[in-house]
Structure 1
């Protein structure tokens, strides 16, 4: 995976996710499970469209699931993100994915979830 940079720590969530954010968790889990990837991610854009992706690790290309989901949204014309989810076994959010989300949204919540869908925390800044 790409080198990571410092990101804010995910704060444990105290409230349930919205129905729209729950859908992102389901999409991210599906993307991860479908190909047996290290991580899956999903984002929702300003129009409510969703994009899901899995991490890619090839000899000539390594991209995180969150970077790929953001890239898919941007390629489809998204100019802002409302929320993002990463499903991973890692306990922290990777810096490259965090930066990609922040390119399109300075305040969108990024939820970090375990492979079983349990949301471990949320980064908001």
Structure 2
């Protein structure tokens, strides 16, 4: 994990999307991704007896099920660099990066691909 950099406008949009999901789902973490075509997807954690996914895993799965074939970036709000969704993000797009933010959306770190 590297130190956070200033967010681009496109990455800031991901923060807004993830924080929106965070509020709607009334959860403590959420995530959003941008695919290779610039489309965005967001997700909150899912925890049932038979299924447990992080917000990033939900966002990545939503993108893949909608036909995404590559990822540019992800934002994880109030999550960590060891989120299993980061591995999936890099499995699909080795150069994709993930920005970690606190609950307010302030960047606290970045996980670069490759």
* Aligned twin of 1:123: 111
1: CA distance, partners of 2:83 / 2:100? 13
1: CA distance, partners of 2:48 / 2:27? 12
TM-score by length of 1: 0.85
Question: Offset of 1:16 from its aligned partner?
Answer: 1.3
Match of 1:28 among 18, 41, 50: 18
Question: Offset of 1:94 from its aligned partner?
Answer: 2.8
TM-score by length of 2: 0.93
Contact 1:37 1:56 in 2 (8 A): no
SS in structure 2 opposite 1:86? Answer: strand
For structure 2, list consecutive stretches of 5 or more residues without a partner in the other structure.
Answer: none
Residues 73/55 of structure 1: CA separation in 2 closer, same or farther (3 Å cut): same
Match of 2:37 among 44, 47, 62: 47
Contact 1:44 1:82 in 2 (8 A): yes
SS in structure 1 opposite 2:95? Answer: coil
SS in structure 2 opposite 1:42? Answer: strand
For structure 1, list consecutive stretches of 5 or more residues without a partner in the other structure.
Answer: 1-9
In the TM superposition, structure 1's runs of 4+ consecutive aligned residues that sit over 6 Å from their partners are: none
Mapping of residues 34-73 of structure 1, within 5 Å:
34-73=24-63
* Aligned twin of 1:12: 3
SS in structure 1 opposite 2:31? Answer: strand
Q: Deviations over 1:16-62 (max 9, x none)?
A: 11100000011111111211123100000111100001011111111
